[in-house]
Structure 1
Amino acid sequence: MASTALLSGCAALGSDPGAQGAPGQGGHGGHGGPVDPQARLAAEHARLVAAARHWNLDEVPLRPPAPPARKPKITARDGFEVDGQEEENLPPVFTTVPTRQKVVFLTIDDGAEKDPAFLRMMSDLKIPYTAFLSNYLVKDDYGYFRRMQSEGHTLNNHTLTHPYLPGLSYEEQKDEICGMQAVMKRRFGKAPTVFRPPYGNYNGDTLRAAKSCGIKYAPIWDEEVFVDHWEYREDDKNLHPGDIVLTHFRGREDWDGTMVDDMRRFLNKVTREGYAVARLEDYL
């Protein structure tokens, strides 16, 4: 495989993915002059090769294209609408972003497992992702998610207590969603505009409540990845351009593996199939 040659060719970098790829990588050469852009790109690629090897990936993950200059129009997936969807301009529920680019979007739910190795892995590999947080699971360590946010990842709303929302009244649903908006603003500096209903279950009251709380989008997912397998919404059981992929903050107490193992399975598959991981909010 091409990646094998790259890995062996960059062995001199060592297995530390945080190591500098070349002297003066920060912008100046050893004599104070500017670094050739091609040299900088080569050094960054070498760093990513070392990171892929360090985290035991099959290949270096593909880099996503630049965010679209014109955002795609996001509408509710057919069959996922509620009464009044268009008339009331309710947040659309969707599983795939309309794009022809070979990108997928990684989303991670709830916040139960707080694995520092996961943060290091995703930082080393520069993989973007979106976290949907529930307060009852993140309140014991907001700092973990602030670190995530500081590295450019987006934190979004997944309710206060992760209930089955259609079983609640409108006011109860509003308390769950708006209550989490207040937590997000207080703890992370911003109330998000993106919300995922727990379990992917919702009704008209859910979307009306979400809109009243400042929510504009309600993405769910097209595939879900676990440590040991994938699950698919579509009968073809394939990835598609713009698909939203779900996983969870989980560890060995729930899975036969760690979040690093889960991400290795995810990244190996999407890279093997020619997909890059893009940032969901760049398309919204």
Structure 2
Amino acid sequence: MPKQIPAARRTSIAGLLAATSLVLALSGCASFDVTAPADARADASAAEVQTKDAKNAKGSKDGDAQVDCRKAKCVALTFDAGPSENTNRLLDILKEEKVHATFFMLGKNHIEKRPAEVRRIDAEGHELANHTWSHQILTEIKPEEAKRELSRVQEAVRKITGKTPTLMRPPQGRTDGEVSEISKDLGLAQVLWSVTAKDYETNDSALITKRVLEQTQRDGIILLHDIYKGTVPAVPGILKELKKRGYTVVTVSQLLSPAKPEPGMAYRPEKP
């Protein structure tokens, strides 16, 4: 049975997002549950907390402590719409900086054409996630088509890596109650964002860096794309400045821990 989110933390998607720059195409009055990473951590079950603390205790003994975003000043780094010809360079940078990210991958022309990059993303400790097969807007297609858009990625990633994603990001952030139910059926939590460089508008790496740093707050989720020419060159400067400001850069699942992503739930940081 899925855990219940306290009433104070339950928010209609329409109410939450109307006050933000993120525009969603809502279907009628359909709504679903949204929670922020800090609230997810606070609402973690006793068993999840115990497991997290046990891992941290073991890690401290072994000299390999786990990141604990209840204490650390964390921010999640995510990349959409790859893998692409830029992904290997990005992975080199992340490896050099000892940072892990979450990759919301497309199927058509990406996963299907670049299985080696998918395997490398997994092998180097990054998080595999779903961004649909062909970037169709899930709220604008039939439910069976939306389910196919997501399930094809699940199957493709599983065939390549033996792992099935537990996170998905709806194209353009457009979601509704129906998409939430489909995600729940497929075991996928929805992940939105709080920081966007709008790197689809510019190849100016300095501008991309500036936009990210201006928006980043604790528990934020940064949205970038590893398909655009200006993005990957911006990553070293972004990481350097985030670390200078005291941030620990993590995956989405690390940001939510000790809570585990709940299928169907939409996770989005609160606006500062």
Shift in Å at residue 162 of structure 1?
Answer: 0.7
- Preserved CA contact (<8 Å) 1:222 1:245: yes
1:85 to 5, 24, 32: 32
Residues 107 and 167 (structure 1), Cα distance of their counterparts in 2 relative to 1, 3 Å cut: same
Distance in structure 2 (CA, Å) of the matches to 1:199 and 1:154: 20
Partner of 2:225: 248
User: How far is 1:280 from its partner?
Assistant: 2.1
Structure 2 residue runs of 5 or longer lacking an equivalent are 18-25, 40-69, 200-204, 261-272
3-state SS of paired residue (2:249): strand
Give yes or no for contact 2:104–2:131 (8 Å, CA) kept in 1: yes
Pair 1:170–1:84, CA change in 2 (3 A): same
1:263 aligns with 2:235: yes
What's the secondary structure of 1:131's corresponding residue? Answer: strand
Q: What is the correspondence of 1:40-189 to structure 2 with a 5 Å cutoff?
A: 79-80=16-17, 83=30, 85=32, 92=34, 96-98=37-39, 99=70, 101-115=72-86, 116-136=88-108, 137-189=110-162
Q: Could you say if the C-alpha distance between residues 141 and 75 of structure 1 is closer, same or farther in structure 2, counting changes exceeding 3 Å?
A: farther
Structure 1 residues 65-101: Cα deviation after superposition (integer angstroms, max 9, x where no partner) = xxxxxxx999667625974635xxxxx475x544563
TM-score normalized with structure 1 length? 0.62
Q: Is the 8 Å Cα contact of residues 110 and 134 (structure 1) preserved in structure 2?
A: yes
Relative contact order (C-alpha < 8 Å, sep 6+): which is higher? 2
Give the secondary structure class of the aligned counterpart of 1:176.
helix
CA RMSD of aligned residues (A): 3.0
Larger Rg: 1
User: Which amino acid in 2 is paired with 1:245?
Assistant: I
Identity within the alignment, %: 23
Q: Measure the CA separation in 2 of the matches of 1:93 and 1:229.
A: 30
User: Structure 1 counterpart of 2:226, which letter?
Assistant: F
> Which ranges of structure 1 fall in alignment gaps of 5 or more residues?
1-71, 87-91
User: Do the aligned residues in 2 keep the contact of 1:97 with 1:244 (CA within 8 Å)?
Assistant: no
Q: 1:75 to 1:264 in 2, by over 3 A?
A: farther
> 2:50 — aligned with what?
none
One-letter amino acid of the counterpart of residue 273, structure 1 = R
Superposed CA offset, 1:158-211 (max 9, x none): 111111111111111111112221112112212211111011111211111111
Counterpart CA distance in 2 for 1:97 and 1:248 is: 25
Please state whether the residue corresponding to 1:79 is helix, strand or coil.
helix
Q: Deviations over 1:227-277 (max 9, x none)?
A: 2335879xxx5422111111101243xx3xx61x12123213312322120
Matched letter for residue 186 of structure 2: C
SS, match of residue 163 in structure 2: coil
CA distance in 2: counterparts of 1:279 and 1:238, whole angstroms: 18
Whole-angstrom distance in 1 between the partners of 2:158 and 2:173 = 23
Cα deviation, 1:28-70, whole Å, max 9, x if unaligned, reads: xxxxxxxxxxxxxxxxxxxxxxxxxxxxxxxxxxxxxxxxxxx
Question: 1:145 corresponds to which letter in structure 2?
Answer: V
Report which of the two has the higher share of helix. 2
Contact in 2 for aligned 1:93/1:218 (Cα 8 Å):
no
